[in-house]
């Protein structure tokens, strides 16, 4: 297939970028087309930016299944477009997604990276991520939900609209105006399907109820990505990354203590466990305790300022 593509074309650059990071994935998808080579296909690809976006995806802690499914989805979209450009039937692919999982499992971060990838593949014109929830879409009187939802969708056009706790749009009360927002969403998802991606996110069981609340939702959202809770070692890696980014270090006693604690909390998560958010809250509390411990000391070294001890994580 490479032989049919000019070596200086954008498509050649795109294939080279993916080869660097995902050679096995790419080779599984790209097969020779049993048809005379067409003229060079001009696609709006950004190989260097794409390579950087894919690297961000790979750098996410855990989420191996999610990463694999995103690569497969991108491959389907790109190969479908290439087939269409070569005069072949395109592959039916759905862009709109459901992200299910507990809080703090990386859904928003993944959505932001996916927006970048789609932009750099040429599937979105802008690639911005617009986050919203029920309060941004649902009004308090007839017609207000349509106005609010259209305003949000206007901002999201050319990018990804990420609806957090999307199930809250489908409350059972007849007096609720969430159904009005859903109807507008469904229409815009169809009318602007070539330059808009909508991601509905929330708890797994509640997202099922959301999709069942309107037949149009089930037909629009056909791709589901589930974000598992992090295990103890992943939570510890997330914590170490946060500590480093904040210009702190953990002493050895703190590392040993936290590794055990995070293994325990991951094995027996409390109600409402928020994964990465839980880790961030633990760190913020430790930083506050360290500050209180150091406050008023006569001599404070640089090492004192950056070191978090086991006592700080009580």
Give tens-digit pLDDT for 86-116: 999 888 887 899 999 999 999 999 999 999 9
Whether residue 6 is predicted with pLDDT greater than 70 in this model: the reply is no
C-alpha–C-alpha distance, residues 151 and 160, integer Å: 14
Domain 232-313 listed as CATH 1.10.8.60: yes
Residue limits of CATH 1.10.8.60 in the chain: 232-313
Q: Does residue 265 carry a pLDDT above 80? A: yes
The CATH topology of domain 2-227 is: Rossmann fold (3.40.50)
DSSP-derived 3-state class of residue 55: helix
20: which residues sit within 8 A by CB, 6+ positions away?
Answer: 51
Each residue's pLDDT tens digit, 39-53: 343 445 678 999 999
Q: Where in the chain is the domain with CATH 3.40.50.300?
A: 2-227
Q: pLDDT value at position 38? A: 40
pLDDT for the residue 10: 52
* Global pTM value: 0.83
**Per-residue model confidence (pLDDT) at position 274:** 96
Mean pLDDT of the chain: 88
Alpha helix segments (H runs only) across the chain: 10-29, 47-59, 64-85, 107-121, 134-137, 144-156, 178-191, 204-212, 215-220, 232-245, 252-267, 276-294, 302-306
**Is it the case that residue 162 has pLDDT exceeding 70?**
yes
Lowest mean pLDDT among 26-40, 101-115, 203-217, 243-257: 26-40
Which residue in 223, 227, 226 sits closest to 77, CA to CA? 223
């Amino acid at each position: 297939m490479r032989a049919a593509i000019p070596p200086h074309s954008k498509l050649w650059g795109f294939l080279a970028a993916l080869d660097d990071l995902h050679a096995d994935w790419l080779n599984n998808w790209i097969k020779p087309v049993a048809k005379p080579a067409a003229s060079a296909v001009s696609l709006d690809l950004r190989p260097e930016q794409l390579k950087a976006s894919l690297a961000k995806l790979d750098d996410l802690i855990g989420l191996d299944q999610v990463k694999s499914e995103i690569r497969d989805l991108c491959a389907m979209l790109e190969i479908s477009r290439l087939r269409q450009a070569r005069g072949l039937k395109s592959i039916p692919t759905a862009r709109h997604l459901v992200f299910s999982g507990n809080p703090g499992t990386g859904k928003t971060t993944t959505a932001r990276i996916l927006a970048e990838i789609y932009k750099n593949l040429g599937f979105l014109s802008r690639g911005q991520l617009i986050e919203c929830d029920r309060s941004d879409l649902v009004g308090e009187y007839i017609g207000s939900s349509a106005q609010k939802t259209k305003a949000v969708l206007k901002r999201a056009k050319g990018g990804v609209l990420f609806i957090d706790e999307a199930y809250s749009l489908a409350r059972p009360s007849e007096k609720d105006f969430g159904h009005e927002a859903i109807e507008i969403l469904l229409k815009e998802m169809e009318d602007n399907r070539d330059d808009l991606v909508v991601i509905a996110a929330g708890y797994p069981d509640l997202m099922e109820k959301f999709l069942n609340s309107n037949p149009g939702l089930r037909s629009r959202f056909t791709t589901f990505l589930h974000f598992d809770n992090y295990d103890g070692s992943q939570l510890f890696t997330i914590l170490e990354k946060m500590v480093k980014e904040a210009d702190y270090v953990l002493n050895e006693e703190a590392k040993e203590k936290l590794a055990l604690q995070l293994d325990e909390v991951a094995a027996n998560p409390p109600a409402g466990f928020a994964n990465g958010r839980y880790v961030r809250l633990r760190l913020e509390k430790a930083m506050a305790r360290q500050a209180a411990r150091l406050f008023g000391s006569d001599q404070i070294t640089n090492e004192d300022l950056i070191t978090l001890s086991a006592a700080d994580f009580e």
